[in-house]
């Protein structure tokens, strides 16, 4: 009796509210736990990823870091204009592109390495060497830069080696000429083995009977790599290439901040380090948000364009 009353009250309440239908309530009663699982995470995304987004409005205001962004004085495209009219625009964009195009040119290295390591038949040897080549990926940027400082200093081991074979010392860490090489090749050192994983994984799914058939037809190993392995990993290569080209404007800001000093800043200042310098250290919020927003938009457009091209040309695409 009591139960029935409760049920009726519940029904009447629902009828009164009219917010949720009976079916919805039954569904939620059965599956509320799934929403308990997902909602905190969605809430986190809203607070920490979506709440900042309206903040790009700062790029159009004279926001000083106090009070509400939307109360700040609107200045239109002033910050964009002053960035592009200054010498910083050219300098930071050229520096960014120099580093990113340089590392993009080395994009095939992990693919070549994956193809080569895939040819190793001795499983134990393969496993040990893979463990070793993954190691640099787990070394932090701070440690990497510390190591660079120790080894590539004018008194470090590399310069000792150079002088012992009768060569001139090279100022690796504080000269404009050496900076891009140090930056890009230290990146290759950290990421070569790790970036190869995605290709070795794709290679491991190649059907061995293809290789057997090709061998019987007298194909050499190089021919089999060229005609069987590479086509098999082509979609993976294209996806990785889209991602790389899409992020061509984002050279690691953290690494730039770590490697930059007063002597190499002419080539070390990228758009990312410039935003950090002017925004977080300088408190120039409107200006630095404008520069960051410009960077973000260029990346987004690049990603969409490259993705569309790849969809047309090769059927492989991100979205």
Partner 1 sequence: MKIKDTFGDRAFTFFCYAVVILVAFICLYPLWLVLVYSVSDPDAVNAGKVWLWPVGVTWDAYKEVFSRDDLMKGYLNTITQTLFGTAVNMAMTIPAAYALSKTKLKGRGFFMGLIVFTMYFSGGLIPNFINLKNLRLLNTWWVFGLCGAVSSYNLIVARTFFVSGIPHELEEAAEIDGCSTAGTFFKIVLPLSKAMLGVIMLYYVVGHWNNFSTALYYTPQSTEYWPLQMVIRNMLRTLNQMIGTADEEALMYYTRIYDMIKYAVVVVAALPVLILYPFLQKYFNKGVMLGSVKG
Nearer to partner 1, 81 or 215 (CB): 215
Which member of 6, 8, 13, 42 binds partner 1 (CB under 8 A)? 42
Segment interacting with partner 1, rule: CB under 8 A, options 7-15, 81-89, 91-99, 155-163? 155-163
Which member of 3, 5, 209, 262 binds partner 1 (CB under 8 A)? 262
CB of 14 to partner 1, least distance (A): 18
The β-bridge partners of 74 are 61
CB of 227 to partner 1, least distance (A): 15
Which member of 7, 13, 21, 40 binds partner 1 (CB under 8 A)? 40
Residue 277 in contact with partner 1, rule: CB under 8 A? no
* Interaction pattern, residues 71-110, with partner 1; x per rule: CB under 8 A: ----------------------------------------
Which member of 3, 4, 209, 319 binds partner 1 (CB under 8 A)? 319
CA separation for the pair 60, 69 (Å, rounded):
10
Nearer to partner 1, 104 or 141 (CB): 141
Residues 6+ apart with CB under 8 A from 52: none
The 3 state secondary structure assigned to 160-175 is: HHHHHCCCCCCCCCCC
| Sequence-ordered alpha helix ranges (H) in 119-167 | 123-134, 141-151, 157-164
Which member of 100, 200, 277, 310 binds partner 1 (CB under 8 A)? 200
CA separation for the pair 276, 292 (Å, rounded):
9
CB of 22 to partner 1, least distance (A): 15
SS3 313: helix
The β-bridge partners of 61 are 74
The CA-to-CA distance between both ends of the chain, in Å, stands at 57
User: In the chain, how many H helices and how many E strands?
Assistant: 16, 0
Which member of 96, 136, 182, 248 binds partner 1 (CB under 8 A)? 136
């Amino acid at each position: 009796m009591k139960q029935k009353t409760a049920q009726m009250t519940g029904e009447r309440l629902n009828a009164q509210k009219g917010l949720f239908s009976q079916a919805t309530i039954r569904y939620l009663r059965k599956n509320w736990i799934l929403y308990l699982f997902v909602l905190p995470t969605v809430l986190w995304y809203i607070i920490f990823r979506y709440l900042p987004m309206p903040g790009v409005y700062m790029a159009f205001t004279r926001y000083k870091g106090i009070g509400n962004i939307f109360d700040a004085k609107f200045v239109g495209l002033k910050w964009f204009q002053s960035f592009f009219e200054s010498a910083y625009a050219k300098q930071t964009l050229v520096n960014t592109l120099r580093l990113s195009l340089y590392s993009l040119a080395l994009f095939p290295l992990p693919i070549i390495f994956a193809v080569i390591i895939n040819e190793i038949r001795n499983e134990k040897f393969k496993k040990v060497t893979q463990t070793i080549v993954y190691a640099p990926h787990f070394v932090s940027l701070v440690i990497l830069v510390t190591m660079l400082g120790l080894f590539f200093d004018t008194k470090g081991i590399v310069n000792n080696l150079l002088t012992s074979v009768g060569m001139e010392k090279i100022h690796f860490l504080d000269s404009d000429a050496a900076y891009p090489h140090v930056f890009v090749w230290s990146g290759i050192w950290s990421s070569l083995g790790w970036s190869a994983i995605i290709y070795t994984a794709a290679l491991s799914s190649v059907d061995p009977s293809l290789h057997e058939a090709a061998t019987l037809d007298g194909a050499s190993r190089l021919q089999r790599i060229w005609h069987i392995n590479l086509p098999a990993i082509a979609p993976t290569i294209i996806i990785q290439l889209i991602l790389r080209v899409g992020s061509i404007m984002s050279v690691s800001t953290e690494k730039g901040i770590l490697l930059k000093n007063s002597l190499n800043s002419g080539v070390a200042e990228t758009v990312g380090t410039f935003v950090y310098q002017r925004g977080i250290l300088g408190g120039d919020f409107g200006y630095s948000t404008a520069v960051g927003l410009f960077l973000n938009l260029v990346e987004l457009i690049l990603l969409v364009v490259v993705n569309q091209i790849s969809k047309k040309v090769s059927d492989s695409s991100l979205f």
